[in-house]
Amino acid sequence: MCEINISVLTRHDWSRYKSVRLNSLQDSPDSFGSTYQQEVALSDAEWQSRLDLKWRGLEALPLIAELEGQSVGLAWGVIHEPDTKIAHIYQMWVSPAVRGKGIAKALLGNISTWALNKGCECIKLTVTTSNAAAVGLYASSGYLPTGPLEELRAGSSLMVQPMVKRLVSTARYL
DSSP 33: S
C-alpha–C-alpha distance, residues 109 and 121, integer Å: 15
Residues between 80 and 99 with contacts to ligand COA, criterion CB under 6 A: 92-94, 99
C-alpha–C-alpha distance, residues 169 and 167, integer Å: 7
The answer to whether 17 contacts ligand COA (rule: CB under 6 A) is: no
C-beta closer to ligand COA: residue 90 or 173: 90
**Nearest to residue 2, comparing CAs of 67, 63, 66?**
67
**Nearest to residue 77, comparing CAs of 47, 34, 108?**
108
C-beta closer to ligand COA: residue 102 or 119: 102
C-beta closer to ligand COA: residue 49 or 129: 129
Nearest distance from C-beta of residue 95 to ligand COA, angstroms: 8
Window of 12-20, 128-136, 147-155, 166-174 that interacts with ligand COA by CB under 6 A: 128-136
Residues between 105 and 124 with contacts to ligand COA, criterion CB under 6 A: 105
Amino acid found at 171: A
C-alpha–C-alpha distance, residues 135 and 139, integer Å: 6
Residues between 23 and 82 with contacts to ligand COA, criterion CB under 6 A: 28, 31
Q: Total residues at the site for ligand COA (CB under 6 A)?
A: 20
Q: Tabulate helix, strand, coil % of the chain (nearest 5).
A: 35, 30, 35
Which stretches of the chain bind ligand COA, using CB under 6 A?
A: 28, 31, 92-94, 99-105, 127, 131-134, 136-137, 140
